[in-house]
Structure 1
Amino acid sequence: MKKLSMIAAMLSLLVSTGSQAMGPFEVYEQALRNDPVFLGALKERDAGQENRAIGRAGLLPRISYNYNQGRNDSKATYLNERGNLHEDRHYTSSGSTLMLQQPLIDYEAYANYRKGVAQALFADETFRGKSQELLVRVLTYYTQALFAQDQIEIAQASKKAYEEQFQQNEQLFRQGEGTRTDILEAESRFELATAEEIEARNEQDAALRELGALIGVPSVAVSELAPLAQAFQSFPLEPANFDTWHALALANNPILASQRQALEVARYEVERNRAGHLPKLNAYASVRKSESDSGNTYNQRYDTNTIGLEVNVPLFAGGGVSASVRQASANLEQAEYELDGKTRETLIELRRQFSACLSGVSKLRAYQKALNSAEALVVSTKQSILGGERVNLDALNAEQQLYSTRRDLAQARYDYLMAWTKLHYYAGTLRETDLARVDEAFVRR
């Protein structure tokens, strides 16, 4: 079955990419059906939902039926004035009981029910967080693969330029116009670019395999991914002030919401244990039929209908209840500290991504201008070398600056996309529509 599902996933991938490359949203749609982490989270939520029904069961009536039948061999002894008389009895005994019980006052059952509700809500919020996390993971691996491809292409272009420079320096050296240092400098830059290309290929392979794991195939080819549009600049930041994002995160962040539900679980666990000191009151009704169920009822049948109340008052349990309350109270305080810690951590990350979005727009403009300047610098440097005003090392430095600027611009564009996405993630407002908006920034070939 696993092989069939993998084949089906690969066929669907081929069909979807036959006409055009995949964007992040197409990857996300396939990940919804194939990502084991997300599918596991779905089952985790389903299991957590049952806690509500489990807790409610303690407040509802309980009906039980018991039946027994046995073969008895006994010896009865009677005392009278003539001495002891013995009678051997061989008989069958039976009994059946139908019992209905309804809790009337049971604080433990009530606390357990409220705990189950909190556990179900915790499962919901945890799943919501992992659903949004899937959006982030898809875009993370997608942009990592594309950025690695940019690095590979930049490294290949720089290698070509350094190789040409190396050949030119060798020719000048043979003509007595160049130096050995120029040759070594060009060779060093070429080898450095080769190492950068190897590293980028390794990073790309890892990112593509992560994407493949999301959609249920061994790996994805980078040619199947839609590249980021060269004209992409930025998205409008709405809302534009951090205070609103701060309020959104406190109200909607699924991690914080799940931690608050975990706090409720711990609080009702304290109440459930404290109920061990409280009495319980149950109403019950039973229908019992018995025949020879004891020596005193030999050869007798009884049909008994009973209705009544049952009170259970705990007096002493060896100190176990008090210890359980103290333990649950400590766990409650731990949950409070964890909520405070998660809140601070989330708000710090929220602020970091908000600042990255604001500064990212300026960085993109600055890097674009720097790229234009670097391209012009390469041209002017080569012309200056022909005029004798510059040397070959200046050309190598200009080429190095050009390729570094290209790499930094590519990195800044992907960083901006991730910051914009993570800002919505930490605010708890990340939706499929947001990924669809990001998807529009990628062009289909």
Structure 2
Amino acid sequence: MKSVFISLFLVCGTAQAAMGPFDVYEQALRNDPVFLGAIKERDAGLENRTIGRAGLLPRLSYNYNKGRNNSEATLPDNRGGSYRDNRNYNSYGSTFTLQQPLFDYEAYANYRKGIAQALFADESFRDKSQALLVRVLSYYTQALFAQDQIDIARAKKKAFEQQFQQNEHLFKQGEGTRTDILEAESRYELATAEEIQALDEQDASLRELGALIGMPSVNITDLAPLNEGFATFTLAPANYDTWHELALTNNPTLASQRQSLEVARYEVERNRAGHLPRVTAYATSRRQESDTGNTYNQRYDTNTIGVEISVPIYAGGGVSASTRQASRAMEQAEYELEGKTRETLIELRRQFSACLSGVSKLKAYQKALVSAEALVVSTKQSILGGERVNLDALNAEQQLYSTRRDLAQARYDYLMAWTKLHYYAGNLRDTDLAKVDEAFGPMAGK
């Protein structure tokens, strides 16, 4: 009884150790340096809102000075002459100043620019958050597909090795040909090369996953495989026009580009403000004692309230040049937004079509797999009856394994297309990855 309990514990522990895509994503949130850097980038960008607002708020300053003065004054005397008076005295001054902009278009433009910069940082972070979901699933499925290719390549090697031994045996008995042996040997070596390539691809994908979760590498046994009974998802909404509108409204890349355009627009306004006057209300409270030689041994307490108007007249043409430069940058941002919009909509359409065609492709490959398996059996029987030759058997085996590979790739491609469709539409969330995660788990018989 005790041994049975231990076996069950080990089996459960192994099952729990396998990570699905959502488990990898949760670890990536804590360890991926790209995502962690994006958090800091967003936090820094959000401060632009406060920085921009500061230019519209009151500014309070305090100035204090105290010094020791050694002065020699030449003063007139009562007889029409003059005399020298050596003075050694302390001077003192303190000033409180309160300033409030009443009209400062540059400060207003900076304020609106700061808001746009903060929104840009927020949308850019949303884009990188969703991109992390895509990266996790991409590396995850690449590693699993590489494992499928490895398994297929090893199965091919085993089958071709058996065929090689059989052909060699028939050749020794005088019933086969040297060509049959060479053909089987050639197919075996090609399968070996495919296995090596798949191993390299898997190693790269596992290292990418490890980098996301803060580990040197991940073992393929740590990943939950795709269920054999995986079925496609219901695509909602079902029409492309709705996805089109979602992308234009919600796509974070386009949203950040729009905010980048706003930043450029208010940069133009900020430079244009160099031609406009500034009006500032101010209040000062000043206390001075022996501030200058004329106020020796005198103390003044002065309170002032007033309005200051500053009117720029000429700055060497710099204001006009800076405005033109900012205008060209704004036009560049407009073209970049248009280009990014076109690129996003093209990708959106591609992924939408891939989701629709993926359903039909999966059904076709599943039927093709059944047919390929039956063809292998039928071909082997025909060879025994003298109706087929060795090359037909090798071709049937090759077709079977190619169909298995294509079916595996079609399943992963469909999952990626479904995920990227939501990404380009701007509504990819962790709940969507959790839905994809349900398609992964222990395989039957493993």
Q: Distance in 2 between matches of 1:428 and 1:262?
A: 18
1:149 to 147, 152, 155: 147
Q: Distance in 1 between matches of 2:297 and 2:128?
A: 67
Contact 1:16–1:22 (CA under 8 A) maintained in structure 2: no
**Deviation at residue 29 of structure 1 after TM alignment:** 0.8
1:102-128 CA-to-partner distances (Å, cap 9, x unmatched) read 001111111100000011000110011
Contact 1:291–1:300 (CA under 8 A) maintained in structure 2: yes
Q: Distance in 2 between matches of 1:171 and 1:442?
A: 44
Q: Distance in 1 between matches of 2:360 and 2:41?
A: 43
Q: Distance in 1 between matches of 2:13 and 2:50?
A: 42
The amino acid that maps onto 1:263 is: L
The amino acid that maps onto 1:301 is: R
> Where does residue 222 of structure 1 map in the other structure?
220
1:43 to 40, 50, 59: 40
Q: Distance in 1 between matches of 2:313 and 2:265?
A: 24
The amino acid that maps onto 1:206 is: A
CA pair 216-151 structure 1, distance change in 2 beyond 3 A = same
Scaled by the length of structure 2, the TM-score of the pair is: 0.95
1:26 to 15, 23, 26: 23
The amino acid that maps onto 1:269 is: E
The amino acid that maps onto 2:38 is: A
2:49 to 46, 49, 52: 52
1:77-122 CA-to-partner distances (Å, cap 9, x unmatched) read 1245543311111111111111000001111111100000011000
Contact 1:126–1:255 (CA under 8 A) maintained in structure 2: yes
> Where does residue 295 of structure 1 map in the other structure?
293
Q: Distance in 1 between matches of 2:47 and 2:273?
A: 23
Q: Distance in 2 between matches of 1:187 and 1:319?
A: 80
> Where does residue 108 of structure 2 map in the other structure?
110
The amino acid that maps onto 2:194 is: E
- Secondary structure of the 1:388 match is coil
Q: Distance in 2 between matches of 1:418 and 1:19?
A: 25
Structure 1 position 404 matched with structure 2 position 406? no
The amino acid that maps onto 2:372 is: A
- Secondary structure of the 2:427 match is coil
1:68 to 65, 69, 77: 65
Contact 2:15–2:442 (CA under 8 A) maintained in structure 1: no
Structure 1 position 310 matched with structure 2 position 308? yes
Contact 1:23–1:444 (CA under 8 A) maintained in structure 2: no
> Where does residue 286 of structure 1 map in the other structure?
284
- Secondary structure of the 1:441 match is coil
CA pair 16-48 structure 1, distance change in 2 beyond 3 A = farther
Q: Distance in 2 between matches of 1:323 and 1:19?
A: 65
- Secondary structure of the 1:19 match is helix
CA pair 73-17 structure 1, distance change in 2 beyond 3 A = farther
> Where does residue 373 of structure 1 map in the other structure?
371
2:250 to 252, 259, 264: 252
Q: Distance in 2 between matches of 1:262 and 1:236?
A: 36
Aligned residues: 431
**Deviation at residue 17 of structure 1 after TM alignment:** 6.7
Q: Distance in 1 between matches of 2:354 and 2:109?
A: 45
> Where does residue 201 of structure 2 map in the other structure?
203
Uncovered stretches (5+) of structure 1, i.e. residues with no partner: 1-14
**Deviation at residue 208 of structure 1 after TM alignment:** 0.6
Contact 1:93–1:293 (CA under 8 A) maintained in structure 2: yes
- Secondary structure of the 1:282 match is strand
Q: Distance in 2 between matches of 1:431 and 1:72?
A: 71
Q: Which moved more, 1:376-385 or 1:87-96?
A: 87-96
Contact 2:227–2:442 (CA under 8 A) maintained in structure 1: no
> Where does residue 426 of structure 2 map in the other structure?
428
Contact 1:288–1:305 (CA under 8 A) maintained in structure 2: yes
The amino acid that maps onto 2:349 is: R
1:273 to 271, 274, 282: 271
Report 1:67-86 matches (<5 A): 67-79=64-76, 81-86=79-84
> Where does residue 3 of structure 1 map in the other structure?
none
CA pair 392-18 structure 1, distance change in 2 beyond 3 A = closer
**Deviation at residue 233 of structure 1 after TM alignment:** 2.6
Contact 1:53–1:116 (CA under 8 A) maintained in structure 2: yes
> Where does residue 8 of structure 2 map in the other structure?
none
Q: Distance in 1 between matches of 2:119 and 2:187?
A: 58
Contact 2:287–2:299 (CA under 8 A) maintained in structure 1: yes
> Where does residue 118 of structure 2 map in the other structure?
120
Q: Distance in 2 between matches of 1:224 and 1:16?
A: 12
- Secondary structure of the 2:16 match is coil
> Where does residue 243 of structure 1 map in the other structure?
241
Q: Distance in 2 between matches of 1:39 and 1:296?
A: 63
> Where does residue 9 of structure 2 map in the other structure?
none
1:337 to 317, 335, 338: 335
**Deviation at residue 72 of structure 1 after TM alignment:** 1.3
1:7-32 CA-to-partner distances (Å, cap 9, x unmatched) read xxxxxxxx997734111011111111
- Secondary structure of the 1:217 match is coil
Q: Distance in 1 between matches of 2:324 and 2:38?
A: 33
The amino acid that maps onto 1:309 is: V
Q: Distance in 1 between matches of 2:230 and 2:404?
A: 15
**Deviation at residue 202 of structure 1 after TM alignment:** 0.6
Contact 1:152–1:200 (CA under 8 A) maintained in structure 2: yes
Q: Distance in 1 between matches of 2:72 and 2:22?
A: 84
Q: Distance in 1 between matches of 2:56 and 2:216?
A: 50
**Deviation at residue 444 of structure 1 after TM alignment:** 3.4
- Secondary structure of the 2:35 match is helix
- Secondary structure of the 1:338 match is helix
Contact 2:93–2:289 (CA under 8 A) maintained in structure 1: yes
